[in-house]
């Protein structure tokens, strides 16, 4: 029992170290918060693997969802093959392990969930909302709804993204009184979504990931073919249900190891009393030898 607890603790600490390191790497320009500036260096040619607003003063990398809409907006391109390739490559390599290990907003949500409060599960159908948001606000509206210059609206950033409101909106509005003068109904809408998301994250673990994240939706679809995957040795499983109970995304890894909701956090593997759940790049051989 103690060995199992130690294993869970080590796995938890290791994951948290990776999450904090990824958060620090993605948001390394903390000094910019003081003057309300944003980083303008060459690293902004590249995107972070997770959701992180590029207008956050500390951000050193671009946001894949924001950048995807920006390229779609452009009358010159129509569709962003660079970002499609970028997200596809990361998704097929790691699946939603990106959400579990390197997404800065994922770490913020996990910290919010540590605030003491009644904890709830969300009904499964609500998890499909993120696919609708991806299709409508990230892919459709920016490509179809354009102004007289042929430039589309980055609809997800503009009307929904609570990460943008929190990471860019709040610090930049605090630092720039001239921006505060322009606040209107749109900001109220985004602030309301941010408050809803924060309250949601306190009550439901990774509320934004489960319901709203379009990047998580893409990585989730790629979980089915990702090379970094969950593998269960069915022969050794005693169906105790420990893995299902400990999963923060409410996935049963024994029956659905490729679930689009699985963030590959590894809690199930660490908690398994029989050590039959493995997470890695390749399948393990699981056949057993017959008795003579």
Partner 1 sequence: MYKGTRTPCRNTWIRQINAKAGAMELKGRKRTYIGIGVLAVAVSLIAIGIARDEMLTVFVRAINICLECIGLG
Using the rule CB under 8 A, give the single segment among 2-10, 120-128, 154-162, 260-268 that binds partner 1.
154-162
Which segments of the chain does DSSP mark as H helices, in order?
2-26, 32-35, 64-73, 81-94, 97-101, 104-113, 129-133, 141-144, 155, 162-164, 170-175, 177-180, 185-203, 207-211, 214-222, 242-246, 267-271
Does 246 bind partner 1 (CB under 8 A)? Our answer is no
Residues 105-124 touching partner 1, rule: CB under 8 A, are none
Give the end-to-end CA distance of the chain in Å, rounded to a whole number. 34
When the beta carbons of 60 and 216 are compared against partner 1, the nearer one is: 60
Residues 171-230 touching partner 1, rule: CB under 8 A, are 172-173, 179, 182-184, 186-187, 189-191, 222, 224-227, 229
Q: Smallest Cα–Cα separation from 53: which of 217, 149, 181, 165?
A: 165
Residues 26-45 touching partner 1, rule: CB under 8 A, are 38-40, 42, 44-45
Q: What are the beta bridge partners of residue 279?
A: 230
Of 116, 149, 255, 289, the one binding partner 1 by CB under 8 A? 289
CB of 232 to partner 1, least distance (A): 9
Does 255 bind partner 1 (CB under 8 A)? Our answer is no
Question: How many residues belong to the site for partner 1 (CB under 8 A)?
Answer: 71
CB of 55 to partner 1, least distance (A): 4
When the beta carbons of 193 and 205 are compared against partner 1, the nearer one is: 193
């Amino acid at each position: 029992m103690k060995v199992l607890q130690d294993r869970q603790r080590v796995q938890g600490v290791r994951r948290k170290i990776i999450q904090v390191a990824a958060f620090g790497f993605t948001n390394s320009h903390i000094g910019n918060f003081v003057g309300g500036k944003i980083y303008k260096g060459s690293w902004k040619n590249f995107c972070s693997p997770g959701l992180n607003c590029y207008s956050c003063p500390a951000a050193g990398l671009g946001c894949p969802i924001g950048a995807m809409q920006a390229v779609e907006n452009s009358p010159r391109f129509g569709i962003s093959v660079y970002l499609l390739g970028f997200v596809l490559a990361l998704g097929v390599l790691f699946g939603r392990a990106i959400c579990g290990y390197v997404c800065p907003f994922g770490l913020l949500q996990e910290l919010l969930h540590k605030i003491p409060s009644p904890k709830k599960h969300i009904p499964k159908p609500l998890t499909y909302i993120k696919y609708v948001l991806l299709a409508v606000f990230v892919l459709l509206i920016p490509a179809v709804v354009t102004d007289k210059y042929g430039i589309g609206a980055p609809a997800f950033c503009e009307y929904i993204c609570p990460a943008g409101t929190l990471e860019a909106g709040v610090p930049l509005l605090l630092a720039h009184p001239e921006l505060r003068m322009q606040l209107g109904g749109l900001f109220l809408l985004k602030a309301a979504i941010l408050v809803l998301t924060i309250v949601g994250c306190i009550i439901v673990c990774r509320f934004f990931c489960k319901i709203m994240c379009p990047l998580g939706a893409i990585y989730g679809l790629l979980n089915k073919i990702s090379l970094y995957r969950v593998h269960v040795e069915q022969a050794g499983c005693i169906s105790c249900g420990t893995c299902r109970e400990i999963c923060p995304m409410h996935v049963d890894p024994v029956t659905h190891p490729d679930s689009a909701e699985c963030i590959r956090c590894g809690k199930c593997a660490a908690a398994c009393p029989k050590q039959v759940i493995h997470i890695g790049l390749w399948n393990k051989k699981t056949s057993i030898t017959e008795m003579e």
